[in-house]
A and B are shown apart, each in its own frame.
Chain A
């Protein structure tokens, strides 16, 4: 160890690996429906893609959790995004590719991806 910068580099690298263990209040929650219907429709790769992409983007204030059946099985995989102080956004028929876009557009740039939401899909 030759400098504080070197130490800082390790710290930065580790930060989003352990950030999960800090108080998650005020964090944005990404909740993936993981009941039998969700898993059968492919929720697992979606969940994995979310964690992967959030890590890649270095988002520390976002947690990814799973939940049971939301009751709209025909729209699975379903992903809900809860941001403090904002209305819940429900994305449906998710795929890993869509997950990447939700992270980039919604979580990073705060632009809800309307075409993936339940509202847009129900109109079809």
Chain B
């Protein structure tokens, strides 16, 4: 029995900011003070507030230490763990109010969150099945196998209104019932853990923080549709997730929660992991299954849909990690409970990966229907450096942007589609006034051009041509007709591509054209980039009246483009200038401007 538990985040975010060093320093220090029998150290999954990592929580007080450094550990152990005095100086400052320490749930970041899919992340040790069981783990599976028929399970999922969290938003219960209706000697349950949208990492956090939830849900899905084998397709770039999944599957097998005759019900189910090599197209369901079969990951036409002929030609269901993570809670708490959260057509919660120009980057789980304003201004803590909000990008390379004028839109599947974006897997990139929207569209097109598998022409060649047009515009060589060409090509690619990758690839262009057409026009007509991003359209100048002739800029310029004598205004040779901006950063007098 331990009197205190210290939870240290072992997610990828905090691991890269040094939580392993914190863990070893903590173990060493506790050993030195003879506290190893009294204080337990637990490595958990992601807490969500990745911007403030490495994160450490001490229970029973629930003290939230942020940005912990190894040299802070002796003080925390000596003061807090030995003498019981919380080290307020090192706490997440939002939890400190004068002499009082507030609960984490009262902070802006956590206050509006509602954790269903992420409920165990940052609470349990993901490498210990007993801890998962302590938090109601595998009870939903037991309940399904001993109390419900497969049809009842499907009905509960249908009634809950759960829709696919991977992007499409297809009703999960309907998908399951289609697969159940098809008779076959073998069926499969697959999990899409090939999270590929730039900036999205909720699936990784669930795999790292609560792998048993996925295993339990897949077994439930297997029971519901009549499958005995499942595959988790996870990208090899997620080494921590893969390792924890392997450990979790091993433990579940040891406990007989995977394998033969689970809960003495006669139901057999087992799981295997398949590693993806990181191709974005393998997140598309038919390409993913082709890849599991051992072939090159390319999509194939639908129909037949996976529910009819999927993996190895057998009826298959494929759901995303976050979708599965909701299932055990739906079974335990009921369809009505789940349906009570969210909006009319989008039930439950959604996890968003907040990134870009925002204070609290990290993972947030909120009820559907929360407005973008609440996410950005309240939970996200607003935009750094007093800049203005310009737009938010959702859905990654398949999505679009939401401009400032629509910041009060309640976020759910249908609203996002209505305004020309999509939910996607939940990446949410915030952009401020220094972001060029043409450049953003170009960034996403570069990504899709790289990731197009090349099987169908509209996607392979169409996206390449789109990128060329965008490059031409950002280089100041565009003509007004190019905008029409862009639009025409976008619609052509959408209509004719084989799979979701191509069908959605033009979305970033279409949505920036819809809301920021004036920026395209400025690039073309005035040869100006209003946000000051597109280098070809910028020129750097030194204002003679402000320049003190300190020579710092001339020293820092990597191209040797700045000349001048001491205490005399300097000049930039525009022919040599590479527009890197190093001089602007260094100038202490604000004498250098880009135009």
Contacts and interface: CB of A to CB of B under 8 A. Distances in A.
Contacts of B457: none
Contacts of B130: 10, 13-14
A14 B135 CA distance: 9
A1 B132 CA distance: 15
A27 B3 CA distance: 14
B84 A1 contact: no
Interface in A18-45: 18, 20-21, 23-25, 27, 31, 34-35
B472 interface: no
Contact of A68 (B7, B37, B84, B136): B84
B84 A23 contact: no
B264 A24 contact: no
B226 to A, nearest CB: 21
Given A1-B138, A48-B37, A63-B60, A68 B85 contact: yes
Given A34-B84, A51-B38, A4 B143 contact: yes
A15 B133 CA distance: 9
Given A4-B146, A68-B84, A47 B38 contact: yes
A4 B263 contact: yes
A28 B595 CA distance: 65
Interface size class of B (residues with CB under 8 A): 35 or more
A23 B134 CA distance: 15
A16 B156 CA distance: 32
Contacts of B103: 23, 25
B124 interface: yes
B135 A18 contact: yes
Contact of A54 (B1, B131, B139): B1
A66 B84 contact: yes
B134 A14 contact: yes
A122 interface: no
A3 interface: yes
B213 to A, nearest CB: 15
Interface string B52-77: 00000001111000000000000000
Contacts of B148: none
Given A21-B123, A47-B3, A35 B133 contact: no
Contact of B84 (A10, A14, A65): A65
Contact of B264 (A2, A10, A13): A2
A114 interface: no
A48 B142 contact: no
A27 B348 CA distance: 31
A17 B3 contact: no
Interface in B97-145: 103, 123-124, 130-131, 133-136, 138-139, 142-143
Nearest to B264: A2
B1 A23 contact: no
A65 B60 contact: yes
B312 to A, nearest CB: 29
A63 B124 CA distance: 19
Contacts of A67: 83-85
In this complex, which of B134, B142, B263 has the most chain A Cβ atoms within 10 angstroms of its Cβ?
Answer: B134
Contacts of B59: 20-21, 24
B134 A18 contact: yes
A64 interface: yes
Given A7-B139, A7-B142, A48 B2 contact: no
Interface of B: 1-5, 7, 37-38, 59-62, 82-85, 103, 123-124, 130-131, 133-136, 138-139, 142-143, 146, 255-257, 262-264
28 contacts: A1-B138, A1-B256, A1-B257, A1-B263, A2-B256, A3-B264, A4-B142, A4-B143, A4-B146, A10-B133, A11-B134, A11-B139, A18-B5, A18-B124, A20-B2, A21-B5, A21-B59, A21-B123, A23-B62, A24-B62, A25-B103, A51-B3, A52-B1, A64-B60, A65-B4, A65-B84, A67-B85, A68-B85
Given A14-B130, A55-B1, A63-B3, 14 more contacts: A1-B138, A3-B263, A4-B143, A10-B134, A11-B133, A17-B134, A21-B123, A23-B62, A24-B59, A31-B84, A34-B83, A54-B1, A56-B1, A66-B84
